[in-house]
Amino acid sequence: MGALEQTDPEMVKLIRQEQRYQLETLRLIPSENYTSAAVMEAQGSVLTNKYSEGYPGKRYYEGQRYIDKLETVVQERAKALFHMEHANVQPYSGSPANMAVYYALLEPGDTIMGMALPHGGHLTHGWNVSFSARFYRAVQYSVDPKTHLIDYDQLRDLARSERPKIIVAGATAYPRQFDFQAFGDIAREVGAYFMADISHIAGLVVAGAHPDPAPHADVITTTTHKTLRGPRGAMILCRAELADRIDRAVFPALQGGPHNHTTAAIGVALAEAATPAFRDYGQQVVRNAKALAAELLERGFTLISGGTDTHLILIDLTNKGVIAKKAARALDRAGIVCNYNTIPYDPRKPFSPSGIRIGTPSVTSRGMGEEEMRRIGALFSTALDNVEDEEALQRIAAEVREMAEAYPAPGITDRMAVGA
Helix 370-384 vs helix 324-333: crossing angle, to nearest 10: 120
Angle at 203 between CA 25 and CA 18, to 5 degrees: 25
The CATH number of the domain holding residue 109 is 3.40.640.10
223 is catalytic: yes
232 is catalytic: yes
At residue 415 the predicted structure's pLDDT band, cuts being 50, 70 and 90, is: very low
Q: In terms of residue numbers, what domain contains 45?
A: 40-273
Whether 99 is covered by a domain: the verdict is yes
Q: Is 248 in the same domain as 357?
A: no
Whether 73 is covered by a domain: the verdict is yes
Last residue of a domain, one of 273, 308, 334: 273
Give 378-409 pLDDT, tens digit per residue: 999 999 999 999 999 999 999 999 999 999 99
Residue of 111, 222, 223, 263 marked catalytic: 223
Whether 279 is covered by a domain: the verdict is no
Q: Is 360 in the same domain as 409?
A: yes
Residue of 16, 21, 32, 53 marked catalytic: 53
Give 181-208 pLDDT, tens digit per residue: 999 999 999 999 999 999 999 999 999 9
Residue of 20, 137, 188, 232 marked catalytic: 232
Q: Is 20 in the same domain as 162?
A: no
146 is catalytic: no
Q: Is 125 in the same domain as 252?
A: yes
Q: What percent of the chain shows pLDDT beyond 90?
A: 97
Q: Is 267 in the same domain as 165?
A: yes
Task: Say whether pLDDT at 122 is over 80.
Answer: yes
Residue of 162, 197, 218, 272 marked catalytic: 197
The rounded mean pLDDT for the chain is 96
51 is catalytic: yes
Give 160-187 pLDDT, tens digit per residue: 999 999 999 999 999 999 999 999 999 9
pLDDT at 413: 66
The CATH number of the domain holding residue 309 is 3.90.1150.10
At residue 420 the predicted structure's pLDDT band, cuts being 50, 70 and 90, is: very low
Task: Say whether pLDDT at 362 is over 70.
Answer: yes
Q: Is 163 in the same domain as 131?
A: yes
107 is catalytic: no
Q: Is the pTM of this model over 0.75?
A: yes
Number of structural domains the chain divides into: 2
Q: Is 205 in the same domain as 129?
A: yes
Task: Say whether pLDDT at 266 is over 80.
Answer: yes
Residue of 59, 77, 226, 290 marked catalytic: 226
197 is catalytic: yes
Q: Is 166 in the same domain as 106?
A: yes
